[in-house]
Amino acid sequence: MVQVGEALDRILARAEPLGTETVDLTAARGRILAQDIAADDDLPALPRSSVDGYAVIAGDTAGALEVLEEVTAGRLALTQVRAGSAVRIMTGGALPEGANAVVMVEDVDEIDGRAILQHRPRPGENVHPPGMDLARGQSVLCRGIRVGAAEVGLLATVGCARVPVFRKPRVAVLATGDELVEPQETPPPGSVRDSNRFALMAAAEDAGAEVVWQAHARDDEAQLEQAMREGLAAADVLLTSGGVSMGTRDLIKPLLEKMATIHFGRVSFKPGKPLTFATTAEGKLAFGLPGFPVSSLVTLEVFVRPALLKLGGAERVLRPRVEVVLEHEIRPDAVRLEYQRATVTWQDQHFVARTTGLQSSSRLMSIVGANALLEIGPGSEPLAKGTMVQALLLANL
């Protein structure tokens, strides 16, 4: 039985980015950047007005300035501003030669083609100098970051219309169990609906993976073996659920042993002790996840998600960690590190954690609405209300 940190180390040591591809800017959101990106030019390239107003020479003492022309965004001035003159200019317009300041339209009276300034500007007033937003050659985005809205905007700004990104890891999901029926079916006595297959597919996609294969197999050795081989052939990562503990129909471990090298088969972890991790000769990853719905999702969150992110080229693969105050007593597991589901809120200058209720491995309602996993070390004494513990943040608070 390995400890959580050791298990994660063994997994991440065998997960390397899978390759790169190029996508259109409109398809780049959510992808992981595969190259550093630099600015191709100064922005702005020319000094530019930041307001609607009049371009003038700061220090010009003339009472009324002759308005020579109008400059709108995207058009350059034809004339040069000299003492005694001004150019009407719109936001984003390039500053005419000679001018070094812009007075806002609200501070100017224009009468019969003459501008009367209500205040005398200082040099540079309302002017964005070249390179103020971006300097040519400046690194703007780093390889390994996830592309969001601001990054899409920056990529467009620097002319990166085809975006180099890491390839998404391809995932195969196999649910196992004689008792499973499809979600649209009414389970006969003794059966349950297959929830893991769908939850695991969703969680894998949340972690940047692409689900390319999915199936349900019965607890039959030949059927399981064929399904597992198919899944591994189709994908970079195979996730199985169920059949991995100590029961007589738990066939996943011996089958993984046949087709891959097992790196661990038990983790000192709750919920999900029987988690099994193996790699094939071609370097594909296989995770035997436990069958209980909460165990399979929490083991995916703690162990598989970082691997999927790393395979997908992400620089940051671990959830942010914060200290939280317990709103109530918590009873730790006697021997295993436990990840309890909770909702964390900001109250009176602290993050405060409240449990999602009964932490049973079968109770999916203990994850619904949770935004944190509390990391509770093993012990025999309850942790009192007010105790500080560490939490992995699963969502923005």
Least distance to ligand AMP from the beta carbon of 168, Å?
24
What track of x and - describes contact with Mg ion for positions 93 through 112 (by CB under 5 A)? --------------------
**Least distance CB 247 / Mg ion (angstroms):** 7
Amino acid at the residue 255? L
Tokens 């109250």 label which residue?
A: 347
Tell whether residue 291 is a contact of ligand AMP (CB under 6 A).
Answer: yes
DSSP track, 263-286 = EES-BSEES-TT-EEEE-TT--EE
Q: Which is nearer to ligand AMP, 47 or 177 (CB)?
A: 177
Using the contact rule CB under 5 A, the part of the chain among 64-72, 120-128, 180-188, 237-245 near Mg ion is 237-245
31 or 216: whose CB is closer to ligand AMP? 216
293 binds Mg ion (CB under 5 A): no
Please identify which residue in 243, 272, 274, 288 interacts with Mg ion, judged by CB under 5 A: 243
* Residue 96 binds: one of Mg ion, ligand AMP, none (C-beta under 5 to 8 A by kind): none
DSSP for residue 134: B
Q: Which residues contact 221 (CB under 8 A, 6 or more apart)?
A: 251, 255
Find the radius of gyration of the CA atoms of the chain. 30
| Ranges within 156-185 binding Mg ion (CB under 5 A) | 177
Eight-class DSSP state of 304? I
Of 41, 74, 31, 73, which Cα lies nearest the Cα of 158? 41
Q: Are the C-beta atoms of 217 and 176 separated by less than 8 Å?
A: yes
Site for ligand AMP in 244-283 (CB under 6 A): 244-245, 247
What does 179 interact with, of Mg ion, ligand AMP, none (CB < 5 to 8 A by kind)? ligand AMP
Using alpha carbons, select from 360, 357, 351, 356 the residue that is nearest to residue 387: 351
Establish if 197 lies at the interface with ligand AMP (CB under 6 A).
yes
Q: How far is the CB of 348 from ligand AMP (least distance, A)?
A: 40
- Residue count at the site for Mg ion (CB under 5 A)? 4
DSSP lists the bridge partners of residue 346 as 351
Shortest gap between Cβ of 177 and Mg ion (angstroms)?
A: 4
CA separation for the pair 397, 389 (Å, rounded): 17
Closer to ligand AMP at the Cβ: 34 or 199? 199
Q: Is 31 in the site for ligand AMP (CB under 6 A)?
A: no
CB within 8 A of 240, min separation 6: which ones? 173, 174, 175, 176, 228, 231, 252, 286, 287, 288, 289
C-beta closer to ligand AMP: residue 291 or 313: 291
Candidate residues 47, 96, 208, 243; the one interacting with ligand AMP per rule CB under 6 A: 243
Give CA separation, 133 vs 41, 128, 237, in Å: 11, 9, 42
Q: Which of residues 149-188 bind ligand AMP (CB under 6 A)?
A: 175, 177, 179-180
| Chain residues that interact with ligand AMP, rule: CB under 6 A | 175, 177, 179-180, 192, 194-197, 241-245, 247, 290-293
